[in-house]
A and B are shown apart, each in its own frame.
Chain A
Amino acid sequence: MLHKSVRVLHNIEDALLVIILLSMVTLAFSQIMMRNFLGTGSIWLDPLLRVLVLWVGLLGALVATRQNKQISVDVLTRFLPPRLKTISDIITRTFAAIVSAIIAWHSFLFLIDEWNSGVMAFASVPAWLPESIIPFGFSIIALRYTIQVIALVGKGLSGENKQ
């Protein structure tokens, strides 16, 4: 059973994906309409759409981690016996957790710099706001892999006790 707060987080991620994608579709389409039929277009709509691509991408990556659908090479692992598969999963996911955590940490430091410098991204949106998805996204990915590793180690240990 999933903890209630985890389920809430999952629902928030799903809802954000739906909201962002549908806004992208709507905004991109209305930009085309405005440009071609009214001869005008909004200046901030294009940068906003590009930021939304980053957001939908990283949110999608969060869900991919949750569903274990990150892209990887499975030439060998497809043929591994279950016990070795568990061990290789523990090793690779620990590695993925560490890499994600390092990226998250440095992105967080970067974000603080941007906050202090007061740089603007576009219109009156401060640069740190659209960038914030990077430390946030990678933190959650790192956390997810850590939790998966703990679960796998637990499974491995209990499996050994049975033998």
Chain B
Amino acid sequence: MIIALALLFLTLLGAPLFSIIGGSAMWGFHSEGIDLQVVTIEIYRLAEMPILLAIPLFTFAGYLLGESQAPARMVRMAHALLGWMPGGLAIVALTACALFTAFTGASGVTIIALGALLYPALQQAGYPERFNLGLITTSGSLGLLFAPSLPLILYGVIAQQSSLDTPVNIDDLFLAGILPGLLMVVLLSGWGMWKQPKGQLSTKLNGMEIISSIRESIWEIPLPILVLGGIYGGYIAVSEAAAVTAVYVLIVEVLIKREVKLRQLPEIIRESMVLVGAIILILGVSLASTNYMIDAQIPTKLFQSIHSFIDSKWTFLIALNIFLLVLGMMLDIFSALIIIIPIILPIAAGYGIHPVHLGIVFLANMQLGYFTPPVGMNLFIASFRFNKPVMELYIATLPFFFILLFAVLIITYWPALSLVFLSSNQ
């Protein structure tokens, strides 16, 4: 108990999370009289999971795309194709952000890379400033539920470690995210149409602009088709898709378009691998702590004590929503996944919640946490990027928060929305 409190105190003081998890795992093993060499063996299991290859490769490809002019071209094309619709520009912004986030893994890159393009464009179209700030900040985490987003993959990796009765397949997760992700985009687009400035006509459909913007993006267009088609069609595994993406992006942006100079590569590789390293390190020590928790039957005991005062699945889901909302405010999505999923997954399974549905609920909640005041990460990134006080961003994102909260509730209490495409569900 004292140890647990001390670790909690250290966490709040800002101790690196890997040291907290590693320390608690070692304390657990030590008090059971197990040799601590077991921690090494657990960490080495990182080298025994083929799917993990996807993490460095997708992250690298995402950082590389962010450094190129691909985001600008993508916005131009989306504008040419969708700009004529009512609320067109808002829809352009949402679509572009969702697509970009799916490929770059929601690490705040979207706001930095796309915000600078979309914010002035929205301003020019006459949307109120507060709406623009809110839209961009919210969009920074939109697209999390679409393949091949890193959090989805990571959820699959962790769920596979917890030996459930229902195995979690990453391809299933990719299928499950489609409708909930679209729901979020559609609801936000509706808000964008509502908020469209009066008297401002949408841009007309312009055939020339469409052709020229497609021609400009001709090298990037095959990428989502290749990756998503390959994964959803069952032709390539996720880690193979990551390798193809990395090679493709490397060739297009460095050799063909030459927007990223060869001498920029070491810097891009280092910065992307710092993020990967921080995630992998926490994942490694948490393999040890998860193993200890399963050994000590901690999730089972937790389930029993929770079950004594929450007996319905739906009450549990309400409690889960509230818990995840608070969690999302404090932890970034990657550490939240790695730390909380091994505990929550067996408990949720006890309530008969499908592990794939739980994953979508978890990520949808976390997406909200990105911009929940007072400490959501994207609020600070946007505040820094657009040079606005955080207070203003709290107010600007509020309507978006309630719209997405509504979406999260639908996703939580309507499991079929996530599970409809799953073959194992039929």
Q: Judge if A151 is at the interface, Cβ distance under 8 Å.
A: no
Helix, strand, loop or mixed for chain A's interface?
helix
Set A54, A76, A103, A135: member contacting B13, Cβ < 8 A: A76
A134 and B53 contact, CB distance less than 8 A: no
Least distance between B252 CB and chain A CB atoms (Å): 14
B274 and A54 contact, CB distance less than 8 A: no
Least distance between A149 CB and chain B CB atoms (Å): 12
Question: Which residues on A sit within 8 Å (CB–CB) of B282?
Answer: 71
Contact with A along B56-99 (1 / 0, CB 8 A): 11001000000000000000000000000000000000000000
Contact with A along B275-314 (1 / 0, CB 8 A): 1111111101100000000000000000000000000000
Bound: A72/B339 CA distance, A? 12
Contact with A along B36-56 (1 / 0, CB 8 A): 110111011011111011011
Q: Judge if B411 is at the interface, Cβ distance under 8 Å.
A: no
Set A57, A67, A99, A110: member contacting B22, Cβ < 8 A: A99
B279 and A18 contact, CB distance less than 8 A: no
Least distance between A162 CB and chain B CB atoms (Å): 25
Set B10, B12, B43, B56: member contacting A56, Cβ < 8 A: B56
Bound: A50/B280 CA distance, A? 13
Set B26, B40, B273: member contacting A99, Cβ < 8 A: B26
B277 and A59 contact, CB distance less than 8 A: yes
Given contacts A46-B50, A57-B284, A75-B12, contact A17 B269 (CB under 8 A): yes
Bound: A19/B33 CA distance, A? 41
Within 8 A of A (CB), among B360-382: 375
**Stretch of B109-117, B187-195, B220-228, B240-248 on the interface side:** B240-248
Bound: A109/B244 CA distance, A? 39
Total chain A interface residues with beta-carbon distance under 8 A: 61
B57 and A28 contact, CB distance less than 8 A: yes
Chain B residue with minimal CB distance to A105? B36
Set A32, A50, A92: member contacting B10, Cβ < 8 A: A92
Question: Which residues on B sit within 8 Å (CB–CB) of A18?
Answer: 265-266, 269-270
Q: Which residues on A are within 8 Å of B, measured CB to CB?
A: 14-15, 17-18, 21-22, 24-25, 28-29, 31-32, 46-47, 49-51, 53-54, 56-65, 67, 69-78, 88-89, 91-93, 95-96, 99-100, 102-103, 106-107, 109-111, 113, 130-131, 134-135
Known: A53-B280, A131-B44. 7 other contacts (CB 8 A): A25-B246, A31-B243, A53-B53, A71-B282, A76-B12, A95-B19, A107-B40
Ordered by A's residue number, 24 sampled pairs between the chains whose C-beta atoms are within 8 Å are A21-B60, A22-B269, A24-B56, A32-B240, A32-B243, A56-B56, A56-B273, A61-B280, A62-B277, A63-B273, A63-B274, A71-B279, A75-B375, A77-B13, A77-B14, A95-B19, A96-B18, A99-B26, A100-B22, A103-B285, A106-B37, A106-B39, A110-B40, A131-B40
